[in-house]
Each structure stands twice: as C-alpha cells, then as structure tokens.
C-alpha cells in the first residue's frame, strides 16, 4: 500500500511530468503523438529474452559457489516472484534460463527498442532535435488525446479475457527538460482492460526511466543512456511489486513486494500471504548490489504497514517491524559473477 502515491513520486525528479504539459516548450515545439493501434502475432516474447527488463537481475541473484542451499532457495524464490509479476517461463537446472516473457512493460520496451512503431520513432527523433537546440520538448499521447492499443488475436481465439488480448497504454510519454533536471524522462503506463470488482485493484504497470541527454539515441533501446528507473506492477490478488533501479553510481536494484492498499486494508493489516524460500511471508524487500555482489532480503508476516501512534492518539505511524521499514536484513548472501547489467 505504500505505492499509492507512486505516480506523484516518480520520485521527485518525475513529479509533475505525468499529467501535465511543459510550461515553455519553445516557439517551434510540437507534440508528434498520434493514435497507435497495432496487432501482434503474440504478446509473448520468446527471442532475445536476455535483454528484457529484469533479465540482468534474474542472472545476478545466482548465489556464489561458496553459498549453501539456503541461498539457492532464496535465489529460486526471487526468480519465482519475478515470474509471477512479469509472466516469465523458466527452464534449466541447475542454471535457470528465461524461455519467454509476457508482460506489458517488456512488450512496449521491445517495440520501442526494435524501432517497430513509426510514431515512437518520430517521438525520439523529435526529442533528439530538441536536445540539439537545448529546448524543452514533449511527446505525450495524453496531451494530444490519442490512444495506444496493442492486440493479440491468438489470445482472443484461445478464449482469454480481454485483459489478455487487448493492452491499452493510457500514458506513453517522453519529456526533455533542459532548464530543470536536464534529462530525458520516459513514462510508460498500462492499465488492464475489462471489468473488475469495485472492491478490487485493477491490474496495472508503470515504468519511469531517466536518460542522459548527451547519450540519448533516436533508435535502439537507449540502455547506455539510462540513469534511473522506477515503477510498479499490480497483479490480481491484491499483490504489488515496486522497484527502483540505479544504473549510475550506486548500481543497485531494490524490489518491494507486498499487498496493495486494498490488500492491506489501507495499511492496517498484513497483505496477501505467499511462499518464499520455504517460509510464508506477506512482505518482501530485495536489495541487490551489483558491484558488491550481495543480495539483502527483508521479510515480515502479519505486520501491518501502519500502526497506532501512542504519542498521537487517533494517528498512525510506520510500523518498524514491517519488512519495508526494517533497518537490518533478515537474510543475505553473496552472488556469483553475473556479467553486469543489461
């Protein structure tokens, strides 16, 4: 439930970029966004799975040979959670490999990175041109009131629900702001189609990425220009995974897995339980340091995110026993050499 203001947070650097246009985009600025309506043979990615969003983390959690069975179980548990939230299929023993990936963030990342959609190519060319003249610019489907829809007819024929064969992206946006952050920010947002119970949280996925302008390219994945990404994925069953990934300096990943606001009754109870490395938990925090080669894990069970504040009757405070608020990890292990980031 702590992700309820994630859009406001894209942290502070992303504040104000999600729903608003730019105040001053210069005399020749324009927004090239148009309707995008594309049909795919499948939303499932079976090729180049090694360059998908979390493929580097998938590899990097592999324990060092000096670690024992507990570390192996924890690495397996991390991969299992990634599979649940990202639609991964895995094969191989003892070395797991990604066979396929099916989720809205990786599909969008693939079509952008492979230059498959002309209007997204126009977006990057426009942003690059604005960088060249040091003028702010924006590509935004919301500002232009245009839609982005992907369709998987095979999933429709198979009788899957509309959320599986029609993927709509309410927000696809690139923004260049030379007078403030002097970075390029891209925001991708998907919200599940279909009807869901009023008392439930609609599945969704959001990814915000900041790029260094001097390295920003008009084609390809632009991974070499990435500075920072963060986002959140909400799945059925009131479970949520948020993440922050640093590509410069700290070179770390942090994943938080717990219940949604509904799943924790607005922070007053623990969230839906799940199995992790032989234990039952309802909150899991994973912190991976690529350079140090360490994984720190923080877990809790039946601990609400919030608790009554005895010093302020009628108010609540953060529960220090909730896994996201723990100061010290509940388990750690050393990783094998992963080969670095994607």
Give the model confidence (pLDDT) of 21-51 as tens digits.
343 444 446 899 999 999 999 999 999 999 9
Q: What is the pLDDT of residues 169-190, one digit of tens each?
A: 999 999 999 999 999 999 999 9
Domain presence at residue 26:
no
Domain presence at residue 1:
no
Torsion angle of the four alpha carbons 217, 220, 223, 225, in this order, in degrees rounded to the nearest 10? 0
Domain presence at residue 143:
yes
- pLDDT number for residue 341: 76
CB 232 within 8 A of CB 205: yes
Domain presence at residue 44:
yes
Domain presence at residue 5:
no
Quote the domain boundaries for residue 200: 32-334
Q: What is the pLDDT of residues 316-342, one digit of tens each?
A: 999 999 999 999 999 999 999 766 676
Domain presence at residue 301:
yes
Total number of domains in the chain: 1
This prediction's pTM: 0.91
> Who has greater pLDDT, 14 or 226?
226
Domain presence at residue 2:
no
């Amino acid at each position: 439930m702590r992700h309820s203001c994630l859009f406001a947070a894209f942290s502070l650097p992303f504040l104000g970029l999600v729903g608003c246009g730019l105040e001053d985009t210069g005399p020749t600025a324009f927004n090239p966004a148009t309707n995008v309506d594309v049909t795919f043979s499948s939303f499932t990615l079976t090729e180049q799975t090694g360059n998908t969003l979390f493929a580097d983390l998938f590899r990097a959690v592999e324990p060092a040979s000096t670690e024992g069975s507990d570390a192996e179980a924890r690495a397996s548990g991390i991969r299992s959670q990634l599979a649940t939230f990202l639609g991964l299929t895995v094969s191989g023993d003892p070395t797991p490999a990604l066979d396929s990936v099916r989720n809205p963030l990786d599909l969008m990342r693939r079509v952008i990175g492979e230059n498959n959609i002309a209007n997204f190519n126009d977006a990057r060319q426009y942003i690059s041109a604005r960088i060249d003249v040091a003028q702010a610019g924006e590509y935004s489907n919301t500002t232009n009131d245009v839609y982005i829809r992907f369709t998987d007819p095979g999933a429709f024929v198979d009788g899957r629900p509309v959320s599986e064969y029609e993927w709509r992206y309410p927000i696809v946006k690139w923004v260049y702001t030379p007078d403030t952050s002097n970075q390029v920010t891209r925001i991708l947002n998907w919200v599940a189609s279909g009807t869901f119970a009023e008392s439930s949280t609609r599945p969704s996925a959001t990814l915000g990425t900041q790029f260094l302008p001097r390295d920003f390219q008009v084609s390809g994945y632009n991974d070499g220009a990435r500075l920072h990404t963060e986002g959140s994925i909400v799945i059925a069953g009131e479970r949520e995974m948020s993440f922050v990934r640093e590509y410069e300096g700290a070179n770390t990943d942090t994943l938080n897995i717990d219940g949604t606001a509904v799943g924790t009754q607005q922070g007053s109870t623990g969230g839906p339980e799940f199995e992790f490395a032989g234990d039952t938990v309802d909150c899991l925090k994973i912190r991976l340091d690529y350079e140090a080669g360490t994984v720190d894990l923080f877990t809790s069970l039946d601990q609400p995110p919030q608790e009554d504040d005895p010093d302020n009757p009628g108010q609540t405070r953060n529960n220090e026993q909730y896994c996201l608020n723990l100061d010290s990890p509940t388990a750690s292990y050393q990783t094998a050499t992963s080969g670095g980031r994607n």
